[in-house]
Amino acid sequence: MSEKRLAHAEVAVLAYLLGSPAPQRQVHIAAATGITQARISQILTAADAHGWTERSATGWRVRRPRELFERLIAARAPRQESVAAWYSLDNARRQIELALAQASAQRVSVRVCGDWAADLVAPWRIPDTVLMHADSHLELESAGFVRVETGPADATLVVSVGAMSPGWQLDSRLAAAMGGPRDLAWPLAPVIEVARHILTVGGPDAADAVAELEQRFLTARADLEAESCTS
């Protein structure tokens, strides 16, 4: 494991563990990430040597959450097959609802990301373009969208298409502890990916928005971790 450049599998395992408020056994990490237990064992052993993780009687846990959070948002993004740009005259919330409905009809897994995801759990700035991840292409023409051929800069909704593991999402308990609704209407990407998207989009307040997201996440995570230790 290189501290300068983490492999995709390393990012996936460490991000999942960071996003889990309770210790996780390797079999559960494997099911959530789609990575073999043998590879997970290698990753966690190396992470333990770096001081990022440790093994307890109930499973693996993160030892230094803030350090790992900041390391992961600087790591390489998940692999993507393609990016589709779409335009609609509907307001952004309506666009999200339409895209989610279309995804459900196609049986496509999706995650809301970027500023619109952050706005639910750590609002800081006014969201603009909708960013989503999907594990297959969405046919949004039938939902009233028009494909944008000039690129994402002219779009109102951008969909990144790529493989998505079952555990690649924000834990609902963490979302609620961060101040979000207890019953999330939208499936959200992991906080690490939300933060990375905000920094990629940029803007004068991007760093402040990520700092707010990070602090709420780490505080909520610490509270839930303490609860799991006493239960």
Q: What's the burial of 51, exposed, middle or buried (CB within 10 Å: 0-12/13-18/19+)?
A: exposed
User: How confident is the model at residue 77, as a pLDDT?
Assistant: 78
Domain boundaries, the chain: 8-76, 82-210
User: How confident is the model at residue 2, as a pLDDT?
Assistant: 56
User: How confident is the model at residue 182, as a pLDDT?
Assistant: 72
User: How confident is the model at residue 111, as a pLDDT?
Assistant: 97
Please list, in sequence order, all residues whose beta carbon lies within 8 angstroms of the beta carbon of residue 203, skipping any fewer than 6 positions away. 125
User: How confident is the model at residue 231, as a pLDDT?
Assistant: 60
What's the pTM value of the predicted model, to 2 decimals? 0.91
By three-state DSSP, how is residue 167 classified?
Answer: coil
In terms of Cα–Cα distance, which of 210, 221, 229, 230 is closest to 115?
210
The answer to whether residues 51 and 62 touch, using CB atoms and an 8 Å cutoff, is no
| Region label for 186, one of left (φ > 0), alpha (ψ between -120 and 50) or beta (otherwise) | beta
By three-state DSSP, how is residue 136 classified?
Answer: coil
Measured CA to CA, the distance from residue 193 to residue 84 in angstroms comes to: 18
End-to-end alpha-carbon separation of the chain, Å? Answer: 34
User: How confident is the model at residue 228, as a pLDDT?
Assistant: 74
Mean pLDDT by 10 residues, the chain (231 residues): 77 96 95 96 95 93 95 85 95 96 97 96 93 97 94 93 94 91 84 94 92 97 84 60
- Identify the CATH class of 8-76: mainly alpha
Q: What's the burial of 180, exposed, middle or buried (CB within 10 Å: 0-12/13-18/19+)?
A: buried
